Amino acid sequence: MAKEKLEIIKESVITNNCPECFNQDMTLSFFQKHLYSKFYHRITPVVEHQIRCNKCNSIIYPVKWTEDIERIFEYYRKTVEPQASKTRFTLFFYGLILVAVLLGVTIAYLYKKGIISF
């Protein structure tokens, strides 16, 4: 199974009022989903966001956003540049491919020499 991890792309401090405690110290974070496996590391195009109040430590969900928070969110969303989605294979994957090719070549050689038969 591939493990999912959210990597921070951009994090900004915003000074809008928190709907919970009315403090003006919140953090807007954008995350990109990465998948890690024994065989590959994949960067997905999925970008997620979160607004957290630094005083009351609560997550501000879009239902509670004010117009000011929405405006600031749209501005920062346009400035986010996620990494291109791609898949990179690990050394373990390449090692398995190499072992499979070597095994196939060895079997073909032994079959041609007449040492083994099917």
* Contact yes or no for 15/25 (Cβ under 8 A): yes
Q: Residue 61: inside a domain, yes or no?
A: yes
Residue 58 forms part of a structural domain: yes
Q: How many domains does the chain have?
A: 1
Kindly state whether residue 41 falls inside one of the protein's structural domains.
yes
With respect to residue 116, please indicate whether it lies within any of the assigned structural domains: no
Q: Which residues span the domain enclosing 58?
A: 3-90
pLDDT band at 21 (very low <50, low <70, confident <90, very high): confident
In this predicted structure, the answer to whether residue 2 has a pLDDT above a threshold of 90 is no
pTM of the model: 0.78
Structural domain includes residue 70: yes
**Structure tokens of 75?**
């501005």
pLDDT tens profile 40-63: 999 999 999 999 998 888 999 999
Q: Is the pLDDT assigned to residue 116 strictly greater than 90?
A: no
List, as one string, the DSSP characters of 79-96. Answer: H--PPPPEEEE-HHHHHH
Judge whether 43 lies within some domain: yes
Q: pLDDT digit string (tens) for 76-96?
A: 999 999 999 999 999 999 999
